Amino acid sequence: MLMRDAVEPLSRSRYTAEASDWDHAAAACYFSEFTYKKGNEIYGEREPADYVYQIVSGAVRSYKLLPDGRRQIGAFHLEGDIFGLENDRRHRFTTEAIVETTVKLIRRHSLEALAEKNAGFALNLLTLTTDNLRHAENHMLLLGRKTAAERVAAFLLEMDGRVATTDVLALPMTRRDIADYLGLTIETVSRVLSRLEGAGILGFSGRTQRQIVLNDREQLRRLDQPN
């Protein structure tokens, strides 16, 4: 992995609430910025986890592969998200930029040093990890027990809550990414979306199929959490 060594001027930021003193901490650390082109790998599974990343702009997928190429995306990371924090010598996922993506890099070493001296900061790292764990736990339920329609509905609602939303949901990822996140195929994802469109629950905006208008979030919620 390449990275530039230009030091960024420090800047206040308005990222996740949990990371309230994150910026404060990061300010005390050496960090730089780097931009990845669409499709480029940020780090690979089992590579040394020397850096932690925070997305300035763009989107990232993190995934595992089986030897025969089947892929499971564990999470999407969007603007403001922190990823790559492993509390482990090596990364457990491969991550790639879904679109052109700029990240801030923080030396893992710096965080650890801070955590050892500052118990409050260590708890902060714990909170980040707990957030990831909660997400993974919910996703296990989705992958193990939900139907295709329920998965897609859950995905749309998740993204609706996370993407800086005007009135259209602008998805950065392809149908393949969505399918590999939901444990489905692209065809199934496409079919479910078409049916939802047919039912008037959502509509497509513009000529691309990645701009989605959610007309009936209540119905989506009912789909996601069946009785």
Phi-psi region at 120: left, alpha or beta (left = phi > 0; alpha = psi -120 to 50): alpha
With binding defined as CB under 7 A, does residue 225 bind DNA? no
Kind plus residue range of the DSSP H or E element containing 30: none
Please classify residue 216 by burial: count the beta carbons closer than 10 Å to its beta carbon, then call 0-12 exposed, 13-18 middle and 19+ buried: middle
209 lies in the site for DNA, by CB under 7 A = yes
Instruction: Residue 145: name its binding partner from DNA, a second copy, none (Cβ under 5 to 8 Å by kind).
Output: a second copy
Q: How far apart are CA 59 and CA 100, in angstroms?
A: 8
Question: Which one, of 105, 98, 120, lies nearest residue 33 by Cα?
Answer: 105
Between residues 24 and 222, which has the closer beta carbon with respect to DNA? Answer: 222
Of residues 130 through 159, those in contact with DNA by CB under 7 A are 147-149
Contacting residues toward a second copy, per CB under 8 A: 64, 66-68, 70-72, 74, 86-88, 92-93, 115-120, 122-123, 125-127, 129-130, 132-134, 136-141, 143-146, 180, 182-183, 225-227
Q: Give dist(CA 182, CA 120) in Å, integer.
A: 35
User: Minimum distance from CB of 47 to a second copy (Å)?
Assistant: 16
Q: Which residues bind DNA (CB under 7 A)?
A: 147-149, 174-176, 183-191, 193-194, 204, 207-210
